[in-house]
Every structure is written in C-alpha cells, then in structure tokens.
Amino acid sequence: MALLELSDVHARYGPISALHGVSLGVDEGAIVALLGANGAGKTTTLRAISSTVRKTGEITFDGHDISRRAPEDVARLGIAHVPEGRGTLGQLTVWENLRMGAYVRRGGASKVDYDRVCGYFSWIPARRNQVAATLSGGEQQMLAIARALMMRPRLLLLDEPSLGLAPIVVQEIFKIIRAVNEQDKVTVLVVEQNASIALQAAAHAYVLEVGKVAVSGTSAELQKDEAVRRSYLGY
Amino acid sequence: MRRLSRTRPELIGLAVVAAVVLIGLPTVTNQFFTFEFAKVAIFVTALIGLNLLTGYSGQISLGNGAFMAVGGYTTAILVQRTGIPYWTTIPVAGILAGVVGFLIGIPALRLTGVYLALATFALALSIPPVLNHFDTFTGGHGGIVMAPAMPPLGLDLSQEQWLYYLCSGIALVLFLFAWGIVRSRTGRAFMAIRDSETAAVASGISLAYYKTLAFGLSAAYAGVAGSLLAIATSYVNPDTFGLSLSLALLVGVVIGGLGLDFGAVLGSLLVVWLPYYAEKASGLQIGSLSFGGKPDIFYGALLILILFFAPHGAAGLVQRGWRWYLLRRTAARSPLPEPVVER
Amino acid sequence: MLSLIQQVISGIATGGIYASLALALVLVYRAMDVANFAQGEMATFSTFISYSLIEYAHIDFWLAFVITILISFGLGVVIERALIRPFEGAPVLTLLIVTLGLFTAFNGVTGLIWGYVFKSYRGGFPDQPIQFGGLYLNTQDLGVLGVVLVMLLLLYLFFTRTKAGLAMRAASLYPDSSRLLGVRVGWMLALGWGLASAVGAVSGMLVAPIIFLDPNMMQAILLFAFTAAVLGGIESVLGAVVGGVAVGILMALVGTYIPGGQDLRLAFGLIVIVVVLLVRPAGLFGRATVKRV
C-alpha cells in the first residue's frame, strides 16, 4: 500500500478553484516527481497534503486520514513540507532554523540529527550562527532541506527546489535529495518545473494539467513517450 | 454602503414619527428625563463627528474628549470673562476646536492605525492635568462655574426643556450637514481612504487634504458638543473631559454602528442611559460585590460582544432588519423575488 | 549637580518600571501587530491580586509576587484564547477596540472588587535612603532596578535558550512556516499574551509601592510605556528597555526642573510620541518598514 494517497482532491483559493479531483499515490521509500506547467496545481497539491489550503477529498498517510487535520498536526505525523519560497526563518540564525526543524521531536534538536544533517551539508557547522536571511539562495534551499531533515520526516514534500538556482547548485541539491532518500529512507514528493532533472531523480512521476493528473508513469516511460515529452515536459 | 434608492412611504412615515417624538418628548417626561435627553442630543453631536472620522474615513481617535474640552472651556472662559451671551460662543467653540483638530490632524497624517490610536490616547490622558496646570485660565481643579442657561424671554419653557430643544436643534442641523457631506464628493473621498489608502491615492484623492479635513470636522463637532455640555451643566472641570469621556465616545460610535448614519443616535442613547441604568443596577450583586454605578464593566463587555456578534453595531442590526422587511414585501408582491444584493 | 545625578538615578529606576510595561506591550505587538491598551489595567488587576494575597492571606511579599506572576500568566493566556482569538484576522481597528473594551472592563472589575479608595502598598524593599559617596540613593530604587534586570535576563534566556521561546519568536515572525514545522501558532500567541501579562504584573507590583494602589494607577504608566515603546521602536525588545529608561530620566527631570512639571509629564509623553513618530517612525531600534502610499 502506498504511504501517501490522494483521491479525488479538490481545492480552491476563495472563489478560484485550483484542483479538480487529483488522485495520486506515493510508495514508501520512493522519490516521486510532480510535474506540470505554471498554474497546473502542483504547489496546491502539496498544500492540500499539508492542509494549508481549503480542500475536499480523501488524503491518507500511512493509513491515517489526514484530510481534516491542521497543518501542525500533519507535520507532527512526520510530513515535512518545504514550501514555495523555502520558508526560511530569515531573522533567525542557521542553528535556530535547525532547532525549529526539530520542534516536533521530543527533547528538541539532537546531536545525532545535527551530525547527520551536517553530513549532507558540510558548510553548516562553520556558518551555524549566521542569520539565515544572509545566506545565498542555494544555501537557503539547502538549509530548508536540512531543517526538514531535523524533523526525521517519513515524507518530504519539496516545492521547486531548483527555483532561481544555478544549474550546478541544482545538480548538487538533487544529489543530496537522492542521498537522503537512499540513506535515511525518506520518501520524497518533489514538485518541479525542471522536468528533466526531476525525472532523473524520481522513479515515478505525475504530470498535472489544469488541476488534474493528465499523465502518470515511471520516469523511464515518461521520458520515452514522445507526445508526453513534447506537450508536458517541453523538450 | 448601498443607499436605499427611493424614498419610500415607510421612510416618510418614520420621519414623521421621529419628528413627533423629538418635539413631543419634553412635554411628556419629567425634568430629569428631559435633561438626560438633552445630553443624548449633545452626545449625538459628538458621535456624528467621531463617526465621520472613524466610521467614514477610517481613522481612529481616542482623543475626541480632548476636543470637547477645547469647546467646553472656550465657552466657559468666554462667558465668564466677557459676559457675552452663551449661545454666541457655540460657533466659536466649534471653530476653535476644529482648528485645533486640524492642527492635530497634520501629524496624524503620517500616523495610521495603532500609532494614531496611541497618539490620541496620549492626548486624551494629558488634557486634564494640562487644564489643571494652567489654572489662571481654567480655574484648575475647581473648574469654571457659569450662570445657568436661561430660555430666551417670551418662550414658555422650563430650563431643561429649553436646553433640550437647543441641543436637539443643533444636533439635527449638524446631522443633516453630516448626511450631506457623506453623500458628497468629500464623503466618497473619506470612504475611499478608509477602504484603501493606496487605491484612493491612485484615483487622485489627496490624502493630506481629506484626512486632516476629517480630523478638523470631527473636532469641530466635538467642540460644539463640549460647548453644549458646558452650557447644559453650567460648569466645566478637567475631570469632565478625561480619558473616560473619550472612551465613552468610542464605545458609543462602535456600538451605534461605524459608518452608518443613525449609529450616532443609537450610540448616544447608550452612552447616556447605560450609566443611568448601571446606577440603578445596584440591586445586582454577587456576594458582597455590587454592580451599581459601575458602567465600565458593561461598556467593556458590550463593546466586545457587539464587535463579535454585530460588527456594524446597533444601526447595522436595524438596517438589516429594514432590508429584510423590504425584501419580504417585494417577495410578497412579485412571484420571482429579486436576488439579494449583499454588500 | 548631585541633585541632578540623584534625579537621573531615580529616573532610571522608574524607567525600569516603564520598560517592563513597554516590554509587555512589545511582546503582544510582535505577536499580533496590535498595541494592547488593556495591558496597564491588566497589570493593575494583578497588583490588586498580590495586595489581597499579602493583606488578607498574610502571605510574604515575595511569595505573593511569584504567585501573582503565575496567576497573571494564566490570565493572559485565558484572555487571548477566549476574547482575542475569536477576532483572529480581523482588521487592526477592530482588535484595537477589543483591547479598549478590555481596558474598560478590567478597570471596572478592579473597581468593583477592590473599590476606588487609594490603598498603600508595601513592596518588597524598605523605603530608606543609603548614602553612597555624597549621593543619597533609595533602596527602593535599587531594588526595582535589580528586579527589572533579573527579569530581563530571564526573558533573554527564555527567548534564546528554550524551545518554547524560540518557537514563539518564529511563530510571530513566520506564522506560516512555523505551522509547517508543527508549531501551534495560536497557542504561541496565547503564550505571548501570558508572558506579557506576567511582565506587566511585575511592573505593577514594582510601581505600586511608589504611588498609591488604585484602579487607575497604571494609566499614566501605560502612556509612559507607550512612549518608551514608540521611542525604542515598537517591535524591539531592546528598544523597549532603552526607551523606558530614557523616558524615566526625562520624566524625572521634567517633574523636578519644570515648574508644575508633575502636571505636564503626560503632555511631555504625548510630545515625545508625536515627535518620534514624525521624525523617526521606526524608533531608535526598530527596522524601518517601507510602506509608502
């Protein structure tokens, strides 16, 4: 059974509806990519999962119905959402950001988690007391992932980690995402506009179009499919 | 706010009833009640002013009690020093308070929301000690005692009845004036500023002009009210115009209904009669604690309850009832009811 | 010269009291962008509770001090949950009026329970001068300073070292991100109100021995605390402290050196507020927010 399952999820911002019945599943231990054009509903889908948008439909996580839970309760189940814009706590230091990441953990941030996170991001110890807003865009993205990992999440929701970053930084970030997935067994659902890099990392992908899943399949299938490639992936 | 578009027979009927009640009131009540209703009229004047500022142009003021002090002391000092007839001081008090308000409105231009509340709160708190301080003018703690205001010769009225008609007449004139302003270009500018300053500027409205104008107008109304209060009680002292007066005004305008024409009337009924009934509520006791004479608790509780259950105040409730009545009548006449236009 | 130094020192002590109430205001302001006009009246209420504990339950001042702080904390939390939370997301004007409603209600309840007769309140420090060089210092002033410094230190440690303190800062600055990290933002607001109420109670219990205890005693203090908060920058904790001390010194000097200055101190508060807002709206330590119309 899938770790996360959405079935017939509708969502709206005031009078404007953004999702018209999205259904998808994310298997435990997988990296799944959510692709699509601007305004297709990718971000909204993540927000529906973390309960930060008004929605109807069924969302289950590890067998629990989470569709009616408050965002903070969803987080407490082990779903770490790195939102659009990275959610950096800009006025706080790097270390305080990490402590906030471990907020839901009993006893707060542990040495073990901190060392593990520093294993992925070796620059962190030296910059521990730097104010987060003064980090570069790439560093802020990495800090956002590091902060999410401090929670020891079972599911990591990433909203466009490549946004506004240099290609080389994007490569590094996706390398880390794969490492996190393999070493720490964290399931990842990643929203991307940059379809080619997302498909390299993901085993499975869904393509959204106007608030609905238009195509889905393994990354290999989607990369091979000429029509899909042209109309949805743009290369 | 959508205006009721056509003059309806019901409205004319209501106006006639209101006029009869207004004119006839002092003939059927005793002196005490007549005097209290004169006070209601005074508060109506003050609240119309505050409603122009807070209800229509969206600027909060906790300092309108201070502008009432300007008006009250202007009248008292002029009458005491120069001996001119008290009624001639009313426009002077209004104009002087208006000028002071206009001047205070200039720094207030740069202040919005919380900061404006803070500054006017400070104004309300600092007025009584300042009045105490300059006691050669103001008589200090003792205040100024004036000769009682007598009805003009030839009018067969008691003093209370005369005060009632004087205050109600002025309140009515100022009410109609405000009614006109609200429906004019100026009123639309006020409301545009209230709803969004950015949008108002974008459509060519001068914030500086209209915001200070609202302050000045509101202060002028308060000044007239202060003057009338001094005349009615033939006495002023610093404590009359303390923070609690400013707070009572705010309570009145919110409970009456911000930005609604009749809010001021309903609000002043409350501001005058609530303390009266609070006084009577001395029978209301919890153990050894008596609620008598302590209107503050009721003010506070009412304020929060009204904001929660009826954000448009008492006038908002009346307006809703009125619309509901119109709608039901329309529905009864035509088989297909018009859709309800929600604000 | 000596008298000037003495005035400045006693101004610093009174300033510490203004700073505590200003700090309470800043805590609430940071959490919800609203100045809590009821802060002073809540502090008065708390001070009366300690008065009752001391006078009627015959509890030692310092024990009553601690109990009152705890009660005030609870009171702040309850008020936020019961009366402020229903207005979440309402316009600033509405929230301001709610706090004004609380102001009148608290003032009324305090008068209802304890009456309007001035009461003398014995604090935790003896009111006696000690000589220090040529200076006569008051133990009371020194005690007040000590308590305020200890409180500041505790607050500093709370906000930097504890999980709850960090979460409160995060929740007030970044409510959306904090929610995604599992923080119950609503409860953090309540915690902020609780802390503010506790800090305000301290200011009330410190000032009551200097002035008399009556239901209106904090109104002038509230104005000076507002002045301090505006001077320091209404979002800045450091600003509240520095502003409080500056206002304390200013008011001590105005009260001493201007004829009839006691009456004019409130007006000076008004003048400082207006001048600061016109010249430097963000205050001494506030960040200038770019908001041009």
Per-residue pLDDT tens digits for B54-87: 888 888 889 899 999 999 999 999 998 888 899 9
CA distance C207 to C144: 9
Across the range A154-161, mean pLDDT stands at 95
CA distance B272 to B253: 13
Give the helix, strand, coil percentages of chain B, each rounded to 5. 75, 0, 20
Q: In sequence order, what are the beta bridge partners of A189?
A: A32, A157
CB contact under 8 A, C96 and B123: no
Testing the interface with C: which of A43, A47, A91, A100 to mutate, by most C Cβ within 10 A?
A100
CB contact under 8 A, C29 and B114: yes
- Please check whether residue C290 lies inside any domain of the structure: no
Residues 231-290 of C with CB under 8 A from B: 234, 260, 262-267, 269-270, 273-274, 277-278, 281
Contact by Cβ (8 Å): B217, B49: yes
Comparing alpha-carbon positions, the chain B residue that sits nearest to C84 is B304
Q: Give the full edge-to-edge strand order of the sheet including A16-26.
A: A16-26, A4-13, A54-61, A64-65
Weakest-pLDDT range from A50-54, A123-127, B146-150: B146-150
Confidence of residue A229 (pLDDT cuts 50, 70, 90): confident
Task: Please tell me which chains touch A, using 3 or more CB pairs under 8 Å as the contact test.
Answer: C
Residues of C in contact with A76 (CB under 8 A): 182
CA distance C50 to B72: 41
Task: Using CB atoms within 10 Å of the CB of residue A234, give its burial: 0 to 12 exposed, 13 to 18 middle, 19+ buried.
Answer: exposed
Q: Which among C146, C278, C289 is positioned nearest to B110, based on CA atoms?
A: C278
CA distance A202 to A157: 13
Q: Which amino acid is at B169?
A: G
Q: Domain count for chain A, please give it.
A: 1
Report the sign of the C-alpha dihedral through residues A133, A137, A139, A143, in that order. positive
Q: What's the whole-number average pLDDT of chain B?
A: 84
Strands (E), C44-187: 129-132, 135-138
- Please check whether residue A143 lies inside any domain of the structure: no
- What lies within 8 Å, CB to CB, of C282 at 6+ separation is C233, C288, C289
CA distance A49 to A208: 15
- Please check whether residue C51 lies inside any domain of the structure: yes
Predicted pLDDT at A85: 87
Write the residue in B58, B107, B247 that is nearest to C104 by C-beta: B247
Across the range B92-117, mean pLDDT stands at 86
Q: Which among A95, B198, B242 is positioned nearest to C104, based on CA atoms?
A: B242
Residue B129: is its pLDDT beyond 70? yes
Task: Using CB atoms within 10 Å of the CB of residue C253, give its burial: 0 to 12 exposed, 13 to 18 middle, 19+ buried.
Answer: middle
Other C-beta atoms closer than 10 Å to the C-beta of C10 total 21
Residues 191-220 of C with CB under 8 A from B: 219-220
Q: Which among C26, C42, C41 is positioned nearest to C78, based on CA atoms?
A: C42
Predicted pLDDT at A121: 94
Task: Transcribe C194-249 into DSSP letters.
Answer: HHHHHHHHHHHHHHTTTS-B-TTTHHHHHHHHHHHHHHH-TT-HHHHHHHHHHHHH
Contact by Cβ (8 Å): B250, B96: no
- Please check whether residue C130 lies inside any domain of the structure: yes
CA distance B140 to B129: 9
Residue A213 lies in domain = 4-92+155-233
Other C-beta atoms closer than 10 Å to the C-beta of B282 total 12
Contact by Cβ (8 Å): A10, A57: yes
| Interface B:C, Cβ pairs < 8 A | 140
Strands (E), chain A: 4-13, 16-26, 31-36, 54-61, 64-65, 79-82, 155-159, 187-191, 204-209, 212-218
B275 vs B175 pLDDT, higher one: B175
CA distance B55 to B58: 6
DSSP structural state of residue A15: T
Residue A150: is its pLDDT beyond 80? yes
Residue C197 lies in domain = 2-279
- Please check whether residue C287 lies inside any domain of the structure: no
Predicted pLDDT at B293: 62
CATH number of the domain that residue C259 is part of: 1.10.3470
- What lies within 8 Å, CB to CB, of C211 at 6+ separation is C217
| Residue whose pair of structure tokens reads 């107008």 in the numeric block | B217
CB contact under 8 A, B303 and C104: yes
Q: What is the pLDDT of residues A206-217, one digit of tens each?
A: 999 889 998 899
Across the range B85-109, mean pLDDT stands at 90
Q: Most confidently modeled of A150-159, A216-225, B280-289?
A: A150-159
Domain boundaries, chain B: 9-279+291-333
Residues of C in contact with A99 (CB under 8 A): 163, 166
DSSP structural state of residue A135: S
Testing the interface with C: which of B115, B246, B312 to mutate, by most C Cβ within 10 A?
B115
**Strands C129-132 and C135-138, bridge-based pairing:** antiparallel
Predicted pLDDT at B287: 64
Confidence of residue B340 (pLDDT cuts 50, 70, 90): very low
B258 Rama class: left (phi>0) / alpha (psi -120 to 50) / beta: beta
Contact by Cβ (8 Å): A70, A41: no
Q: What is the pLDDT of residues B198-249, one digit of tens each?
A: 888 888 888 888 988 999 999 999 999 999 999 999 999 998 898 889 988 9
- Please check whether residue C32 lies inside any domain of the structure: yes
Comparing alpha-carbon positions, the chain C residue that sits nearest to B59 is C93
CA distance C281 to C5: 31
Does residue C179 sit at the A interface (CB-CB below 8 Å)?
yes
Residue A20: is its pLDDT beyond 70? yes
Q: What's the whole-number average pLDDT of chain A?
A: 91
User: To 10 degrees, the CA torsion angle through B58, B64, B66, B71?
Assistant: 120
Confidence of residue B290 (pLDDT cuts 50, 70, 90): low
Residue % of chain B over a pLDDT of 90:
31
Chain A interface residues facing chain C, Cβ-Cβ under 8 Å?
Answer: 50, 52, 70-72, 75-76, 80-81, 83, 87-92, 96, 99-101, 103-104, 108, 147, 151
3-class DSSP state for residue A216? strand
**Residue B236: enclosing H or E segment and its boundaries?**
strand B235-236
Below-70 pLDDT ranges, chain C: 287-293
CATH number of the domain that residue A56 is part of: 3.40.50.300
